[in-house]
Amino acid sequence: MAVTDPATAASVAGLTGAPRRGADRTPRRGWGVTALLVLAALTVLLPLYLAVAMALKTPEQAAAGSGFTLPWPLNVASFADAWTLTGFPRAFAVSLLISAVTVAGTLLLASVASYAIVRNWEHRLFRWSYVYLLAAMFIPFPVVALPQVKLTGELGLDNPGGVALLHVLFQMSFSVLLYSAFLRSIPEELEESARLDGASTWQVFWRLTFPLLAPMNATVGIFAFLASWNDYMMPSLITSDQSLQTIPVVQKIFQLAFSTDYNVAFASYLMAIAPTILVYVLAQRWVMSGVTRGAIK
């Protein structure tokens, strides 16, 4: 799964107390450190610049040199080629479907399970279920891949639906961990008073508790989306019909096809990573606070 490491954020669950701005300890440094950091930032930005530059080159330009030269004259035809070669609209739709189902499924299953667990902690069944679901953190996909692929195949789930289902399940540990930590901080009195007014557990959860979970829903949702959208391993192994592959998987054709020009390949890579980068740039503040909440909560 790699990419985002959701577990990372969870792990710190509760390590920090109230975070405090403890910055600005060395007032005299400033430009020096900034310059060093800008240099370091180039290691992030240069590969992305390379993708943009290569995508905009003509085939002749793309075939020569290091690739870092400015593309001129600009050639946007590569994007059209990449679009048809990878079947972009279809792959995009499949990726979107899988991520949407993954996010919705994770939010739904993990939140209700965590709620049941936290509110019935004194019952052994619920405590054990917690340990059971969390233990999965130690079961990485490669360990169960062989029988799992067989199983999904036999159940007719060797398709995007099966991929989404497995994405939800492999996101479960981390999400239950986050939700449980958060639920414990929501005072139960609120729910008690709603119950006195005659609300059932079902109503209490959906009308009262779930809305209170909003910040954690955002965090869990962001991690589920990134893990699902960017995953290569599971869709490539689970989905048997290659016309139903996701965006990351279809990029593989540029490693196989000899005749393809580099500019087309990079145009395709760029279209593959653009959506998450775009979302990140537009919703940066929101994403960062969500991710950081995962780390601090």
Partner 1 sequence: MATTSSPLPRSGARARDGGRDDLQVPPAPAARPRRRRVEGTYYLFLLPAVALFTLFVTLPALYGMVLSLTNSIGFGRSEFVGLSNYAVLFTDPEVLRSYGFTIGFSVATVVLTNVVALALAVGLNARIKAKTALRAVFFLPMVVSGIVIAFVFNYVFSTSLPALAGALGLESMTTSVLADPDTAWIAVVVVTAWQAVPSALIIYLAGLLAIPEEVYEAADLDGAGSRRKFWSITLPLLAGYLVINTVLGFKNFLNAYDVIVGLTDGGPGTSTRSVAMTIFTGFTGGDYAYQMANAVVFFVVTVVISVLQLQIIRRRGVSL
Residues between 89 and 148 with contacts to partner 1, criterion CB under 8 A: 109-110, 112-113, 115-117, 119-123, 125-127, 129-134, 136-148
Distance of CA 178 to CAs 92, 164, 221, Å? 29, 20, 11
- Segment 45 to 64, residues that bind partner 1, using CB under 8 A: 45, 47-48, 50-51, 54
87: left (phi over 0), alpha (psi -120 to 50) or beta: left
Question: Please, which of residues 253-292 interact with partner 1 by CB under 8 A?
Answer: 254-255, 262, 265-266, 269, 272-273, 276-277, 279-280, 284, 287-288, 291-292
Q: Which of 75, 248, 261, 263 binds partner 1 (CB under 8 A)?
A: 248
Q: Which stretch binds partner 1 (CB under 8 A): 73-81, 83-91, 189-197, 210-218?
A: 189-197
Stretch of 76-84, 96-104, 175-183, 210-218 contacting partner 1, by CB under 8 A: 175-183
CB contact set of 132 (below 8 Å; sequence gap of 6+): none
Residues 132 and 119: their CA atoms lie apart, in Å, by: 17
193 binding partner 1? (CB under 8 A): no
- Is residue 226 part of the contact set for partner 1 (CB under 8 A)? yes
**8 Å CB contact between 183 and 118:** yes
The stretch near partner 1 (CB under 8 A) out of 15-23, 78-86, 96-104, 211-219 is: 15-23
| Length of the chain measured in residues | 297
Cβ 86 to partner 1 shortest distance, Å: 12
Whether the CB-CB separation of 208 and 194 falls below 8 Å is answered with: yes
Percent helix, strand and coil across the chain, each to the nearest 5: 75, 0, 25
- In the complex, what is the shortest distance from the CB of residue 80 to partner 1, in angstroms, rounded to a whole number? 19
Shortest distance in whole angstroms from residue 236 CB to partner 1: 8
CB of residue 8 vs partner 1: minimum separation in angstroms?
Answer: 4
Angle subtended by helix axes 284-296 and 214-230, to nearest 10: 100
